[in-house]
Amino acid sequence: MRRSRKVKILATLGPASSDEVMIRKLFDAGADVFRINMSHTDHDSMRTLVGRIRKVEEEAGRPIGILADLQGPKLRVGKFANGKEELTVGQTFTLDDNAELGTSSRVHLPHPEILKSVQEGHRLLIDDGKLELRAVKSDGKSIVCTVVAGNKISDKKGVSLPDTDLPVGALTEKDRKDLDAVLETGVDWVALSFIQRPEDLAEARKIAQGRALLMSKIEKPQAVARLAEIIELSDALMVARGDLGVEMPIESVPGIQKQITRAARRAGKPVVVATQMLESMITAPVPTRAEVSDVATAVFEGADAIMLSAESAAGQYPVESVATMDRIAQQVEKDPTYPGIINAQRSQPEATGADAISLAAREIAETLKLSAIVTYTASGTTGLRAARERPQVPIIALSPILATARRLSLLWGTHCVVSPDAVNLDDMVERACNVAFNEGFATGGDRVIITAGVPLRTPGSTNMLRIAYVGPEGKGSR
């Protein structure tokens, strides 16, 4: 099944979309990768979902990626004697290490790392920013605050700390158990929540040992400040606009989204734009005009993928949400301004042979109006380089390794096909032309350009370009 767009769609599974029939409907509607949110999924349910996705993949005959999204450190206040309290702006309110039930003047904060790290002047945002506190005194055991905005607080509400760098890693004990579980099932991507610093990826990388690729969710100011370092150590990024809009001024989020998207594109790392893209479709069959424009902006920016969260996981119209996103993306990519915008954001290639070959392949394919770029890739690196160029022609990624094809299903403009490895150069040309023909990218008499590494099966050795004619039966010729 060939998609009629280059940007990919990532759909979250949940109560509204957990059975095999619905997963197949979402795939048919346009979902390329499925997200399993470990904040709401136990291990048995996760294994069931992975099994159902793999059945759909087998039936569809096309690689499907799976992203497991780890919860990360969830910071919450304790409970109140009355369940909730009314506060007034200007009053003093304390968060402390006292486990007693909260009152209108204090509440337990069961996170000693926060009590020890918050300094005078730091902001504490409660319940997604609905209540803003500012620290006036902190002694490691309690934080005395002034209420700056908002007037309500209740049991177990979340705490965000936009000004505080916490001396803890991104993986909690729950995350470690979840990570072990998802790696055993063979998921393709693991998303790490609340990354603050590049070092936060080290533990997950050590545990994963290459069994899955790591996606850093950028949702904290500390991560934005060290974005370049985090990109270097990540396999992909996600612009997690929900928490990002809590911890940073909400008006700054669009600009940060563009910064992250463009930085990831320069580095050749996939980037996903997520959260509230079609939020109104949780309860409505059509989106707002503003939401359509929001999705379109991400597509114009050249994001690799755009993501649905509650819209597909718990909403009333999961299939309609995916289909709507698919239509928006297709229309944007047909817009006459789209190629110019994508080309204007293209960055210079790195000084490597693989990047030079990928650049040359794009320029040749566009100049000669070839039907497709066919790239052989075992590790996925050649596919990444090809997608980084954002060519106007389709990219067909051929890999003998199913896991590689699944991972590349997240990449912009990349149609992944699992194919037995070529035995020599002539066989490589033959296979490339045959796949381009059978997958509907070329007809008899068309030409494709082929990139690969010689000698074959040598990771990262992309060093060959070949233009080939597609014969009437999909046969290849030089």
Cα 386 to chain centroid distance, Å, stands at: 19
Catalytic residue among 3, 47, 54, 76: 76
pLDDT at 294: 97
Query: Does 206 qualify as catalytic in the annotation?
Result: no
The rounded distance, in Å, linking the Cα atoms of 202 and 169 is 9
Catalytic residue among 5, 8, 24, 35: 35
- What's the CATH superfamily of 84-160? PK beta-barrel domain-like (2.40.33.10)
Compute the Cα dihedral for 339, 26, 405, 49 and give only its sign: positive
In this structure, what token pair is assigned to residue 206? 């050590």
The CATH number fitting domain 8-72+171-332, selected from 3.20.20.60, 3.40.640.10, 3.30.230.70, 3.60.140.10: 3.20.20.60
Residue type, 468: A
0.85 exceeded by pTM: yes
Collapsing DSSP to helix, strand or coil, 107 comes out as strand
The rounded distance, in Å, linking the Cα atoms of 174 and 45 is 16
Q: Phi and psi for 106 in degrees, rounded to 5?
A: -160, 165
How many helices, marked H, and strands, marked E, lie in the chain? 17, 22
Q: What CATH number was assigned to the domain covering residues 353-477? A: 3.40.1380.20
- What does the domain layout of the chain look like in residue ranges? 8-72+171-332, 84-160, 353-477
In this structure, what token pair is assigned to residue 165? 């760098």
Per-residue pLDDT tens, the chain, 478 aa: give them: 789 999 999 999 999 999 999 999 999 999 999 999 999 999 999 999 999 999 999 999 999 999 999 999 989 999 999 999 999 999 999 999 999 999 999 999 999 999 999 999 999 999 989 999 999 999 999 999 999 999 999 999 999 999 998 888 889 999 999 999 999 999 999 999 999 999 999 999 999 999 999 999 999 999 999 999 999 999 999 999 999 999 999 999 999 999 999 999 999 999 999 999 999 999 999 999 999 999 999 999 999 999 999 999 999 999 999 999 999 999 999 999 999 999 988 877 777 877 899 999 999 999 999 999 999 998 898 899 999 999 999 999 999 999 999 999 999 999 999 998 888 888 889 999 999 999 999 999 999 999 987 776 666 667 889 999 998 876 665 5
Please report, for residues 235, 293, 319, 386, the alpha-carbon distance to residue 381 in angstroms, rounded to integers and kept in the order given. 11, 33, 33, 9
Catalytic residue among 123, 217, 407, 431: 217
The rounded distance, in Å, linking the Cα atoms of 425 and 24 is 37
Query: Does 261 qualify as catalytic in the annotation?
Result: no
Catalytic residue among 41, 275, 297, 451: 275
The CA-based angle 457-463-466, given to 5 degrees, is 100
Cis peptide before 198 (omega within 30 of 0): no
In contact, 444 and 470? CB cutoff 8 Å:
yes
Please report, for residues 393, 421, 447, the alpha-carbon distance to residue 466 in angstroms, rounded to integers and kept in the order given. 16, 17, 10
The CA-based angle 218-195-348, given to 5 degrees, is 50
Query: Does 88 qualify as catalytic in the annotation?
Result: no
Query: Does 466 qualify as catalytic in the annotation?
Result: no
